[in-house]
Amino acid sequence: MKNIVILISGGGSNMAAIVHAAQRDHWERVHGARVAAVVSNKPDAGGLALAREQGIATEVVEHKRFASREAFDEALAAAIERHQPALVVLAGFMRILTPGFVTRYQGRLLNIHPSLLPAFPGLHTHQRALDAGCRFAGVTVHQVTAELDYGPILAQAVVPVLPEDTAAALAGRVLTQEHLIYPRAIAQLLPGLQDN
């Protein structure tokens, strides 16, 4: 079985979109793949309850309990490894990962970022796009490398910037596209993944 482990920090809307797509498109039967676990760095992350409702294993590795990023990432990797991942998917996971962690999962660690990378890495992407006068914004699914919001691009979706847009309005339209392209990008990778 190709186990997918999803990392979240909040409400888990992208995680829910991935779980829904896996069920709707029968990933287990078609690709031998399933969402095996959801791991969060925050015990109150809303997405944990959503995962439990779907019968998916959940774990919490609270980053505040660790003295260093390295110690947190080691504990996080231990939690992930319990589920024998073929793929690790960051879905609103708001922690910068150490190079050692990224190297450990190289080639099977994905992230989604709310801009058309390489434009606007980091935070406040929607406001920065508006401030720059962009006519288009969007979202990128990419493989994770040690450099923040960088790595081979797997999928992008473009969203027009409207004259009356606020950062919140633009973010809402971008999020709709995130929910469509993230599951699609994962599904395209599944045939090439190794079984555990």
Please report the DSSP string for 3-21 in residue order. Answer: EEEEEESS--HHHHHHHHH
Contacts of 122 (CB under 8 A, 6+ apart): 148, 149
User: Checking DSSP bridges between strand 136-143 and strand 109-113, what pairing results, if any?
Assistant: antiparallel
Could you say which of 31, 113, 126, 142 is catalytic? 113
Query: How many Å separate Cα 79 from the centre of its chain?
Result: 17
Signed CA dihedral, 114, 115, 118, 119: sign only: negative
Residue where the block lists tokens 């969402």: 35
Nearest to 155 by CA among 107, 187, 196: 187
113 a catalytic residue: yes
Q: Which residues are catalytic?
A: 113
